[in-house]
Amino acid sequence: ADVSVVVVGSCMTDLVSQAARLPKAGETIHGHKFFIGFGGKGANQCVQAARMGAKTAMVCKVGRDVFGNDYIQNFKNNGISTAYVEQTENAATGAASIIVNDTGENAIVIVAGANMLLGQEELQRAQSAIVNAKVLVCQLEINPDASLQALRMAKENHVKTIFNPAPAIADLHSDFYKATDVFCCNESEAELLTGLPVTSVEDASRVGLELLRRGCGSVIVTLGPQGCVVCESTNTAPKHIPTTAVTAADTTGAGDSFIGAVAFYMAQYPTMPLEEMARRANLVAAVSVQTVGTQTSFPLQKDLPTELF
Ligand code: RIB
Ligand code: NA
């Protein structure tokens, strides 16, 4: 059978330090734990969709180095097709330096490396997988031109598209909106894209409508512990979808868990209302924040309540 979810996006090796708080500029502080994990928004989203049961493929580029080799094995361990995972001699596998504080918040610097070398040729090689997928997912940790090209390729072939404008850029090309069915961002990304502050559900509804006006099919603004707001072009009123209260150990990748879950639902249950997909995806992401780590905290289908399927 064809792959149902294709992610064109990033892979990063996450170098994670846990500390009581985030350091200030020029400051050195002691942390209490260090670990290396598999991350990158694209790969994280693909892993969550795969763990929920979607047949997935990743289109990405890693270095011809230890981190790249390990990453390919990680995809295989998660049942993700590596047919379109390429290795390059010309750059190192992407890396993310992450600090997580005691309340589960983080600060991240990424060096995208090999991710930036994913381009037109690689997309051509993956074309049949992209145009035959049910859902394509893109972010902004690769060259934005490559993301836009992938979204257009999918959209022209009636493949549903999810776009996560992360990390956000203020001058996002207007065609991203037109090529996107579900535009999914968090508060800070929404602020950067619109110039409007987002500190409440009301703000999220306002920015959601503004982003919708730019031409996408629907918008989801995620709000961490407050769940998310869903705006659809077929429905005038934004809808707040609250989530369950949990104690956060590490929120890194929670948005990726959410998006991976939405991708799974769109592929598996194409007629399910987007609000219901968002409600369920909130619960999947809530599981992920309760454990330290990114992909290591993403639940499998067997770990989730059957009502979510
Ligand atoms: O969204 C979380 C991810 O952002 C991390 O895994 C890190 O790699 C950065 O890309
Ligand atoms: Na986590």
pTM higher than 0.90? yes
Looking at all shown ligands, the one closest to residue 16's CA atom is 1
- Mean pLDDT calculated for residue range 90-98: 97
Ligand 1 probe mutation, 45, 93, 98, most atoms within 8 A of CB: 98
Does any ligand 1 atom lie closer than 6 A to the CB of residue 142? no
Does any ligand 1 atom lie closer than 6 A to the CB of residue 12? yes
CA distances from 175 to 50, 85, 140, 162 (A): 29, 26, 14, 14
| pLDDT per residue as tens digits for the range 280-300 | 999 999 999 999 899 999 999
Does any ligand 1 atom lie closer than 6 A to the CB of residue 115? no
CA–centroid distance for 120 within its chain: 21
Residue 256 is a catalytic residue: yes
Q: How confident is the model at residue 230 (pLDDT cuts 50, 70, 90)?
A: very high
Q: How confident is the model at residue 28 (pLDDT cuts 50, 70, 90)?
A: very high
Count of other CB atoms within 10 angstroms of residue 178:
15
Looking at all shown ligands, the one closest to residue 250's CA atom is 2
pLDDT of residue 50: 98
- Mean pLDDT calculated for residue range 126-147: 98
CA distances from 228 to 43, 183, 201, 234, 279 (A): 22, 13, 8, 18, 8
pLDDT of residue 235: 81
pLDDT of residue 2: 66
Q: How confident is the model at residue 104 (pLDDT cuts 50, 70, 90)?
A: confident
- Mean pLDDT calculated for residue range 4-25: 97
pLDDT of residue 285: 98
- Mean pLDDT calculated for residue range 120-127: 98
13 forms beta bridges with 38, 95
pLDDT of residue 56: 98
Residue minimizing CA distance to atom 7 of ligand 1: 40
pLDDT of residue 158: 97
pLDDT of residue 3: 72
Phi, psi of 163 (to 5 degrees): -120, 130
For ligand 1, the distance from its centroid to the CA atom of residue 246, given in whole angstroms, is: 21
Does any ligand 1 atom lie closer than 6 A to the CB of residue 293? no
Concatenating the DSSP letter of every residue in the chain gives ---SEEEE---EEEEEEEESSPPPTT----EEEEEEEEE-HHHHHHHHHHHHT--EEEEEEEESSHHHHHHHHHHHHTT-B-TTEEEESSSPPPEEEEEE-TTS-EEEEEE-GGGGG--HHHHHHTHHHHHT-SEEEE-SSS-HHHHHHHHHHHHHTT-EEEE---S--TT--THHHHT-SEEEEEHHHHHHHHS----SHHHHHHHHHHHHHTT-SEEEEE-GGG-EEEEETTEEEEEEE-------S--TTHHHHHHHHHHHHHHH-TTS-HHHHHHHHHHHHHHHHTSSSSGGGPPPGGGS-GGG-
Looking at all shown ligands, the one closest to residue 299's CA atom is 2
pLDDT of residue 236: 75
- Mean pLDDT calculated for residue range 250-263: 96
What does the mean pLDDT of the chain come to?
Answer: 96
CA–centroid distance for 10 within its chain: 9
